[in-house]
Amino acid sequence: MLCSALGNRVGEIKKLLVKSSNAEREGFARKMKRVLEECEAELTVVREEQTRVIELVRKTTEHYQAGASRDKEASPFQLFVIVKDFLNMVTL
């Protein structure tokens, strides 16, 4: 998902920073390292929040669509597609 893509990008930036560090860029490297540390801390918070939200979506889907959790291939967001389709039919 999005968090893993962001985590991968942060990792790529860290590798690039290590490769490009030299004496004349030392100030930039030090500042960038702090930015990356802050990014990693934020990503940790976002991952935890993402896990919490996915669990709420799973519980909501199970409540309104009993047995849906047994279908492992189904998207947990399928319930929202159903609601969207219903709202489109009602508002026409």
- What is the secondary structure of 34-87 as a DSSP string? HHHHHHHHHHHHHHHHHHHHHHHHHHHHHHHSTTGGG-TTS-TTHHHHHHHHHH
User: Residue 92: pLDDT above 60?
Assistant: yes
Task: Summarize pLDDT for 32-67 with one digit per residue, the tens.
Answer: 889 999 999 999 999 999 999 989 988 888 888 777
**What are the phi and psi torsion angles at 88 (to 5°)?**
-65, -40
Both structure tokens of 76: 């947990």
Could you tell me which residue, 73 or 41, shows the higher pLDDT? 41
SS3 state at 22: coil
Q: Which residue has the tokens 């985590």?
A: 7
This prediction has a pTM of: 0.68
